Amino acid sequence: MKKELTLQNGDIKKLLLKYSIPAIISMLVSALYNVVDRIFIGNMKDIGALAITGVGITMPIVTIVLAFSMLIGIGATANISIKLGKKRRDSAEKILGNIITLSVVFGVIITILGIIYKNPILNAFGASENTLKYAEEYIEIILYGTVFNIMGYALNSSIRADGSPKICSIIMVFSCLVNIVLDPIFIFTFGLGIKGAAIATVLSQVMTAVLSILYYMSKKSDLKIKKENLTLDRDIVKLILALGISPFTMQIATSMVQVLNNNALKTYGGDLAIGAMATVNAVALLCFMPVYGISQGAQPIIGYNFGAKQYRRMEEAYKISAWSGVIIFVISLLLIEIFPKAIVGLFNKNPDIMAISIHGMRIYLMAMPAIGFGMAGSNYFLAIGEGKAAMFLSLLRQVILLIPLIMIFSKMYGLTGVWLAQPICDVIAGTVTVIMVSKNLRKHDGSNFSLFKIRKD
């Protein structure tokens, strides 16, 4: 009851700090799973440049797995927050039980299909004779851990809705430390190379899943995993998928764009351009995850107050989260412009790949501040149960605008055109998001919306 009253009556800024800081840590740690791998792989003697390109080729598959993780995790977490806001604890626990079963079902299917068709998939995703070996070695092991990957993400995400964001972040930090410690041991000490990086990542994902399950079996959790709730319920599955479909679609679209990017990069810049994109995406992850963490932290606040019909508090949470994201992106952009060589040099010091990476990074990420409004807006619609609106915004940025722009600009400007398409999409999508959120808030509250003024009751 104390947690629920806090969500309903507590100061929004303090609540956002309480929920966002652990979420930011969790998101950064989640990004580090991939980033740390790329740092160690990119610095492998003699083969680092080709090896990191191999990892870049596997990113669409990794993104597809993340899509299913978010489909279950974010869809379930948003529904749990809404159910708790309506004082329906039993329904929230049924959703929690269904998370586990759905994770196993989707994970097994992805693993089987991925292992059977990995070679033709990797070739279609931009692999060449020089890079296929590295891509295959890495992704095969990653696929074997898919069940734990999905389950760990989904259960850990739901811990925030249960009112324990600190524990959520502690689990993620511990799992990431396992990955960081094991990476150099498996890669260099045991001489496993790129396979070692994949093994370390899978073991850390297993750790996340196990610790999240142990949390729900402990006295610290309000919600409990119950055997009778493990049976899939059609209505609950529909609820989870309805709200999870937006981030799922976004990630699937991201995977499609990654495939298109890889092939365009291979055509106009060769294998090293794909490696450069892997580096740029790693930097982008580090920039995006804090902002995504803020949006995730705002989600239970917005969802609860929407259920309680406290629309002014809902609006305040959105605005604070949106502007916080913009500020973080501005700072990130300044660091990228001032220290590009130092940032790219973490991943690979090959002068050719560094030159491509620095040029691409400065163009690709130059409109980041606009993404702050987009991320906050997409999560706003998820939190209030309007999955279709959130899905449209995801499709707008990653499919409707980006794919045709990549195709057009790459033909017009070559490799530079591939980088340039993304910032143009970011600006347009950010503008559309603000307009849609404004209309939605006016519909519920009946008063004028201003992005620059926070109204309180």
Q: Where are the beta strands (DSSP E) in 17-134?
A: none
Distance CA 423, CA 430 (A): 11
**Residues 6 or more apart in contact with residue 363 via CB below 8 angstroms:** 416, 419, 420, 423
Question: Minimal CA–CA distance to 360: which of 412, 422, 292?
Answer: 422
Positions of the chain with pLDDT under 70: 1-5, 26, 30, 33, 445-457
How many CA atoms lie less than 13 Å away from 199 in the CB half-sphere? 16
The pLDDT of residue 120: 96
What DSSP designation does 125 have?
T
Are 74 and 382 spatial neighbours (Cβ–Cβ below 8 Å)? Answer: yes
Please give the model's pTM, rounded to 2 decimal places.
0.80
Distance CA 58, CA 38 (A): 12
User: What is the number of other CB atoms lying within 10 angstroms of the CB of residue 37?
Assistant: 25
Name the one residue in this structure whose structure tokens are 């993780």. Answer: 69
Distance CA 165, CA 8 (A): 17
What the block records as the tokens of 348 is 């690979």
Name the one residue in this structure whose structure tokens are 């404004």. Answer: 438
Helices 146-161 & 271-307 angle (0-180, nearest 10) = 30
CA 13, distance to chain mean position in Å, is 24
Distance CA 202, CA 142 (A): 6
Let me know if 116 is exposed, middle or buried by CB neighbors in 10 A (0-12, 13-18, 19+).
Answer: exposed
- The DSSP element (H or E) to which 215 belongs, if any, is helix 194-216
The pLDDT of residue 1: 44
Interior CA angle at 240 toward 70 and 106, to 5°? 60
CA 275, distance to chain mean position in Å, is 20
